[in-house]
Each structure stands twice: as C-alpha cells, then as structure tokens.
Amino acid sequence: MEKLSQRKGVCDLQLGKEENCKGAEIFQVFFHPKKRRDVLVLTPWLAPIVWEGTFSRDILDAQYLQKNLVTGVVTFAVENYVQFIEGFMSSANKYFLAGHPVNFYLFTDCPEKTSHLQMAPENHLFVIPVQHDPRWQDISRSRMDILSSYIQSQFQHEVDYLYSVDINVQLLAHVGVEIIDALVATISSWQVTLQQEDKASETHPESQPALPEGQGDFHYTASFYGGSVAEVYKLSRACSAGLLQDRENGIEGPWHHESHLNRYLLQHKPTRLLSPEYYWDTELSSSSILVKRMCPVHQHSQRQDPQTQSVRPFFFSV
C-alpha cells in the first residue's frame, strides 16, 4: 500500500503501537464503562463500545480542540437518493461534531440540488459530480473504489479522520468526538443472536468475504464507519479489491460492500465500536437505547433490508 502523507501540523496518521497504547491510556480518562451495566461496553479484544453515559464529552472536546484536527464525512446521493440530500445535510451540519471543523464530501449526479445548502461557519461542503450506475448494486460496489481513489488524491491532504455515512439518514442527537479513533465500526441495530450460524454474513464459498464457519464478532453496518485516513484507506482498498474479484468471478453477494466490510473488520479489529444508538432502525425498540443519534429514513419504494423478515434484534448485556 502506498504510504499516505500526513497533513501539515498534525500527528502521524500511520499509528504505531506506541501511539495506540498512549491513546488507550487517554481513553481511560473519559471512558466510564461502569455507568452502563446493562450493556456490553468492551469487546473481547478490549476495544470500547460507546454508549450514552459511558463517556465524558467535555474532556474529549477539549483534547480534540488542542490537536487542531479536521474530520471528513463522505456520502453518496445518486438517482432517487438525491431526495435525501437536504435532510441529511441539515441534520449533519447541526449534530455531527458540532463546533468542530468538518469537511463534507458529497458525491452526486445532481450537483445543482446543493446550491441552496447553508453550512455552519466551521464546516465546508465539497460537491463532487459522479455518474450514476444503472443498478443500485453497482453503485454499492463502486463506493469503495471511489473512496480509496479520493483518499489518495485529495482527502489525505485535507482531513485527519474520515467517516462514510449513508445519505438516507437523519441525525437526531449529537454525534461528537467520542467517535474518533483509528478504526471505528458501528454495530448494526439488527444484530442477531450470538449463535454464529444465525449471523448475517456472506456464505457463498467462492465469495471474497465468505466467513469461515463459526467465525465472526459483531455484524457491522456499512451505513456508518470510519477512522483515521490511513486506516480507512487500507479498508477501502481491501474491500474494493474483494468486490472486483467477486465481480470477475460472477458473484453478487446479498450484502455487497457491507459483506466485505465485515470480513475486513473480522481480520482487522476495530479500535472503537459505536453502539447501535449511532445507527438505530426506528422499526425496533429497546430499553438499552437511551439516545437515537442517527436513524435511517425509510421509504417504501426503496430496497428493504433483507434481514428484517428473518431475524430478531439482539441487545447486549453483561
């Protein structure tokens, strides 16, 4: 993999063991797992799972400001998904890392739909024209390739952390700097039982993301993930290569880039997990979800989640 250059005046994005250990020590200052005994707050590999009540945002905000960091958000709005631009942008402008500089990178085939959008003074919107693919499956496949290409050519010079978010969501509460870490994944709100055979994953034996029987940690949604630019670059490159291999083999998995994302995160453990409150399906209910921070906007004419007809949600407990 090509080594990414670091943004001027900012810490090295190629995190080593020393930096990770230091980050873990700092995290203990603001992470309070004992305040949520009703949910799982730590993974088997000791990565924190962020829930409402488990972190001190004031401490995090102060540390984030001192580092002079910029975070980027990548989202795609093509064809029918153009209708979600205004709702997403207005809510993200209000709630995503409020008060901190954020670059929003909007890939769309209708750039004229964005001229009226108003951004907070610290935020910037970059509209990037992109051609639409005839099928939503092809759009899904091309996202990883586009993401890795733009990280290499542009994003690595402009932001320190980068997050991919679906356009058909609305933010309902603050999503703050508690999400910032080297490699961050969001646990799906449709997380199923702990039995591995029930876990939503790619099972075609010839598919690149096919999981070996009995393996898997959590099911992560592709609607919200990210991390340092260097880590997201490695993730997107790997997923793009897997998707290309599947296409050459004539394989079209049911989960597309989400399957490849989950395979990658099985082999490269996230350094921080976001609980389902960071992408909560409003068709569900749970006493564990104290705050719904980000929710999908359902539209009956759009593709429905194939899991919703066959699985039940799994809520974490200790």
Provide the greatest CA pair distance for the chain: 50
The bridge status of strand 272-274 relative to strand 49-50 is parallel
- Burial classification of residue 231, based on how many CB atoms lie within 10 Å of its CB (0-12 exposed, 13-18 middle, 19 or more buried): buried
Question: Is 122 a residue of the active site?
Answer: no
Of the residues 52, 178, 258, 277, only one is catalytic, namely 258
Helix segments in the chain, DSSP class H: 17-30, 57-66, 85-95, 136-153, 229-248, 257-267
* Cα-only R_g, the chain: 19
Q: From CA 205, how far away is CA 113, in angstroms rounded?
A: 43
Phi, psi of 307, deg, nearest 5: -75, -25
Q: From CA 315, how far away is CA 288, in angstroms rounded?
A: 7
Joined tokens for residue 307? 């899991």
The bridge status of strand 220-228 relative to strand 161-165 is antiparallel
Region of residue 196 (phi > 0: left; psi between -120 and 50: alpha; otherwise: beta): alpha
**Using the 8-state DSSP alphabet, how is residue 161 labeled?**
E
Q: From CA 318, how far away is CA 222, in angstroms rounded?
A: 26
Question: How would you label 74-112 residue by residue, b for 16+ Cβ within 10 Å and e otherwise?
Answer: bbbbbeebbebbeebbebbbebbbbebbbbbbbbbbbee
Q: From CA 277, how far away is CA 290, in angstroms rounded?
A: 8
* Residues belonging to the active site: 258
